[in-house]
Each structure stands twice: as structure tokens, then as C-alpha cells.
A = this chain, B = another copy of it.
């Protein structure tokens, strides 16, 4: 069975552009961490910069994690929720902003070390553009690569998982798809730079996530991290896993196991109107239900289905194997 984690903030209040004060009430950090620890199977949490952790409270957060027996799986630097990053962060047109972004990322490296956390999950949501004729694509993409390269070179003890997403908050992100991001990671020529797949982001990109897993693993074992959620296919709805798509998660978990992925399966949702703990627990339960089925024999059966490629047989097998 894989190691499961959650993004801590998913348990808290969540807002959107219409209801900016959020759909729920704020919950104290200690309570969030306690709730995380109560979800069966969850052994770690990811912390978002600013929202969950900052230099000022990193020690306190570390103590709380210890108290509740949770590992810090990754820190997600806050490259997106500060007004200064509004027009770009690591790849901002303004060199002063780029410098601040790099400095802040180094701060996150320090926080990670304090928390004995091995991974920075980099999601540069504000790096991209919205309109035609708005971006010097060559220059700005280069700045983004350089920034990653600089910090990853300086922190060889930390793994940098680059998380891609086609759009939102920019209409076009520079790290948009699995392969784009893999190209950037490879361009750094650093072993500690890889890619994070968020299943929902990949759905929006039109990817078959199983194939994205394979591409990242085949071109240099570059799959560093996994974020799980579900959506209706055109937007990052950040829903409970399996609430829309079911069979695709079987294929994902098969290929994660088959390619010997040994990282975390982390839940990344936005339960705007739902009980956060319940929504995350349900996702973990759903994935574990599938994982439990993946015995050696079932893995062999799946390999056989893939070799034959008979879709009718595959669908029948799924029905017989998973449904009552």
C-alpha cells in the first residue's frame, strides 16, 4: 500500500472569486493538523507557504506535526497568493519581483530543512500570461527555468517537484502539461528536479494521467510527486477522487505500481462547501479500495489485458472485478 498524505489547507476555509471571505469558517492550525492525523491511512501533510507555514511559525508547525505523528511531505511555496506576484513571480517581467521570488523560495528550502521535509512542490501559478501579444515567451520561459535551476543547484538535498496546470490563475501557464514541464526539468540537467502530476490538472490538459505517469517515468524517472482529485474535465474543480471518473484511477494506480513509483499519494482538493475532513477521507478510502485490489495476480491480469488491447474484455474485467 502506498503512503498517503493530504494538503493541510484543504481542511480549512476555501474561497472563490465571488465569495472571497470563504464558504466556511477559519479553523485553528492545531485543529487542522489534528484532523489530518485522524484520517485513517494518512501519514503526512503538505504545507502551503503563507497559508500553512512561514518562517515565523515553522517551529510551531513542526512541533504540532510531531505531536500528531505526521510527516511533512512537501512544502508548496506560496508563489501565487501574494499581491506582489500578481503579474508573475519566478518569471515576472520585473527583475525585482523575480529576485524576491527567488529569495522567498530559498526561505522555503530553509523551512523544509527545519521540518525534515525532502520536497519542495513548485507550482508557479502566476507565471504565464492571459492575452495574445502579452508575453515574451522566449525570455520569460528562460527566466522560469533559470530560477528553478538556481535554487535546485543550491539545494541538492531537496527534491523539486514541478507541478503543471494548463490554466488558472493565468489563462496560460508556462508549466502547462506533463511533457512541457519534463522538458524544463530535463533542461536543468539536475537530478533533483522532477515533476508533480495533479490528476485534475492533467484531466484539464486532456491527458490520460496513466500515460503522463509513463512518460515521466520512462524519460528518466522524473515523476516526483502525485496530487489526487477529480473534476468534470474542463476545469480544476478539485473534487473528491472517483466522484466523476472511476476506471481511470485503476489505470493510474496500476502504472504507478508497475513503474515502481515510491512517492506519496497526496490529496489536493477544494471542498468549498463540504466537510473537509470527510471529503479527504473519502478520497483516501476510494484510492485504497482500488489499491487493495492490486494483488500480484490482478497486476498480472491487467498486464494481460494491456497486451491484448480488447476493450470489451477490459471493460468486462473492470465490472467483474470492482463492482458488487
Contacts and interface: CB of A to CB of B under 8 A. Distances in A.
Interface centre among A136, A177, A282, A309 (most CB of B within 10 A): A309
A20 B20 contact: yes
A307 B236 CA distance: 27
B311 A130 contact: yes
Interface residues on A, range: 35 or more
A279 to B, nearest CB: 5
A311 B83 CA distance: 18
Number of copies: 4
A183 B215 contact: yes
Nearest to A210: B137
Contacts of A210: 132, 137
A274 B77 CA distance: 25
A235 B232 contact: no
A305 to B, nearest CB: 5
A206 B208 contact: no
Contact of A247 (B135, B136, B246): B246
Interface of A: 14-24, 80-83, 85-87, 93, 125, 129-138, 141-142, 166-169, 171-172, 176-180, 182-183, 187, 204-208, 210-211, 214-215, 218-219, 232-235, 237, 239-240, 242-248, 250-251, 254-255, 259, 270-275, 278-279, 281-282, 285-286, 289, 302-303, 305-319, 321-324
Closest 10 CB pairs of A and B: A179-B179, A278-B312, A131-B311, A246-B246, A133-B314, A132-B247, A136-B306, A233-B233, A23-B86, A137-B214
